[in-house]
A and B are shown apart, each in its own frame.
Chain A
Amino acid sequence: MAGLESALAHLGSIEALAARATPVHRLDPRAKLLTTGAFLATVVSFGPRQVIPLLPLALYPVALGALGDVPARPVLARLALASPFVLLVAIWNPLLDRAPALAIGGLVVSGGWLSFASILLRFCLTLGAALVLVAVTGFDATCAALGRLGAPRILVEQLLLLHRYLFVLVDEAARLLRAHALRAPEARRPGLRVAGSMLGQLLLRTLARAQRIHRAMLCRGFDGVLRRRGALRLRAVDLAFTGGWCAFFALARAVDLPRLLGGLALGAGR
């Protein structure tokens, strides 16, 4: 129960960062969304065994987070939270693919381990960038940007309402669990039969609430379109932001930057 409530508090904590006012926060949400989209596409486009060439791309989430004054901790905590799923997917690679692919010094690395590292790195890069995007933009502004960029209206509105009522739903569940815990202090968690009826309760309560919310929306003139305040305005700095980063992504994709830099360093040292 306490876990559920603290999960709820955490859910909002990344978003709460979006209220800050750094230059990154002031960028047009569309610019940030597009750039992050380009970033994701670049990361995904790398070959399955590439690890080192991916590294320079970490510059984007790190720079965005640093400029946006986003603390590393909550972002890393969420990465850790989601990592078991990725580990589960990636762990099969070293077992299945044992052919040696790379030798570093005396150490021979199999293709399986390379793709394992690649999957993990890509996961960290993509989820990290998405989290930092929400932290410097806010969920609702991100949705607004999605809408302006041509995503279907209905999808955007569903996302917005879902996000808002996720909190109400979790709240409702927490209340049910608390009520149960107070009256059944010995049971650590509800038994199967009680849990079943509680789930049914939750569903009914959620439906009833959905109906009341819809009524309240209609009473204030809702006609199926969520209108938003404040027009978005693209400025030169937004275009420069998107253009600059996209150029960097293209460069990192086309040229193996670490190798190039390493070669340059060796050349200079010689």
Chain B
Amino acid sequence: MSHHLVSAADLRFAYPDGTEALRGVSFVIHHGESVGLVGANGAGKSTLLLHLAGALLPTSGQVRVGDWPVTASTLPQIRRSLGLVFQDADDQLFMPTVGDDVAFGPLNLGLPPAEVDRCVAAALERVGAAHLRDRPSHRLSGGEKRLAAIAAVLSSSPDILVMDEPSANLDPAARRRILSLLRSFEHTKIVASHDLDLVLDVCARTIVLHEGRVAADGPSAEILADARLLEPVRLEPPLRLQACPRCGGAAR
């Protein structure tokens, strides 16, 4: 089924100030795949994700989501099937209360009010944030904001879930909650992170981005265990795969 396919072909992008953030990125992600997008700070992860959602349009090259190339005229269809959770939740929560924010997507899809209420309740329930529904978003803690932002995307029932640094700045319990949430999402998911332990847990496949190019692409278990591959791109294998400093054996 080509419906939930995500692909990039020689994608290039430069910011208006001349920074070349993407310098020829190509990959194909099939339906149901879970892909970790890893790379050091400034490698171009966020820029790439913005292209998948059509929030930025490439300087050259092409992105395809489902059956459509991402262009200005296909954006409504793209945004119907792909949900992007931003790196900074404050960018994403702009309505007076959490409930309003979670309702924003479904309302824009034109769903009837009863259906919208159902979507909102279900999405908040799913991230374990039902109690935040009537709270103003600007008064939440960082972790609560993240949960609200994820619920705000899940409420539109995307076929493809894209998350930018979902575990950044979270306490261990919130991180675990997001981890299990990600595992429970059965459609295509793409997660940008430098939390390689999380990527190893959630994603079967890993794409390594380095200075705007794909440096490696393959099964997470192989790529993330390969210290020689990760070192030049300024990453380290997940702690879980590193030798135990006390006993010298691998942690697992």
Cα A167 to Cα B19 with chains together (Å): 31
**Segment at the interface with B among A58-66, A89-97, A224-232:** A224-232
Partner of B99, one of A167, A221, A229: A229
Whether A164 lies near B95 (C-beta < 8 A) is: yes
Whether A212 lies near B76 (C-beta < 8 A) is: no
| Interfacial chain B residues near A212, Cβ < 8 Å | 86, 88, 91
Q: How large is the interface on A (under 10, 10 to 19, 20 to 34, 35 or more residues)?
A: 20 to 34
Nearest CB of chain A from residue B176's CB, rounded to whole Å: 26
* B interface residues, how many (CB within 8 angstroms): 39
Cα A223 to Cα B91 with chains together (Å): 17
Partner of B156, one of A15, A160, A218, A221: A221
Cα A171 to Cα B103 with chains together (Å): 25
A236 interface contact, C-beta 8 A: no
Whether B117 lies near A221 (C-beta < 8 A) is: no
Whether A220 lies near B96 (C-beta < 8 A) is: no
Within 8 A of A (CB), among B152-189: 152-153, 156
A222 interface contact, C-beta 8 A: yes
Whether A167 lies near B55 (C-beta < 8 A) is: no
Whether B138 lies near A168 (C-beta < 8 A) is: yes
Cα A187 to Cα B231 with chains together (Å): 44
B71 interface contact, C-beta 8 A: no
B208 interface contact, C-beta 8 A: no
Cα A218 to Cα B134 with chains together (Å): 24
Contact of A227 with B139 at beta-carbon distance under 8 Å, contacts A212-B86, A216-B86 already known: no
Contact of A219 with B117 at beta-carbon distance under 8 Å, contacts A140-B97, A167-B138 already known: no
| Interfacial chain B residues near A213, Cβ < 8 Å | 91-92, 94
A215 interface contact, C-beta 8 A: yes
Whether B109 lies near A221 (C-beta < 8 A) is: yes
A 5-27 binary contact with B (CB < 8 Å = 1; else 0)? 00000001001100100000000
Nearest CB of chain A from residue B94's CB, rounded to whole Å: 6
Nearest CB of chain B from residue A101's CB, rounded to whole Å: 48
Cα A213 to Cα B92 with chains together (Å): 6
Whether A221 lies near B96 (C-beta < 8 A) is: no
Nearest CB of chain B from residue A14's CB, rounded to whole Å: 12
Whether B76 lies near A221 (C-beta < 8 A) is: yes
Partner of A139, one of B91, B96, B104, B108: B96
The chain B residues found within 8 Å of chain A, CB to CB, are 50, 53-55, 75-76, 79-80, 83-84, 86, 88, 90-92, 94-97, 99-100, 103-105, 107-109, 113, 116-117, 120, 134, 136-139, 152-153, 156
The chain A residues found within 8 Å of chain B, CB to CB, are 12, 15-16, 19, 138-140, 160-161, 163-165, 167-168, 171, 209, 212-213, 215-223, 227-231
Q: A209-B90, A229-B113 are in contact. List 20 more A-B contacts (CB 8 A).
A: A139-B96, A140-B96, A140-B100, A163-B96, A167-B138, A171-B138, A215-B55, A216-B86, A217-B104, A218-B79, A219-B79, A219-B84, A220-B104, A220-B105, A220-B152, A222-B104, A222-B108, A223-B108, A227-B104, A227-B108
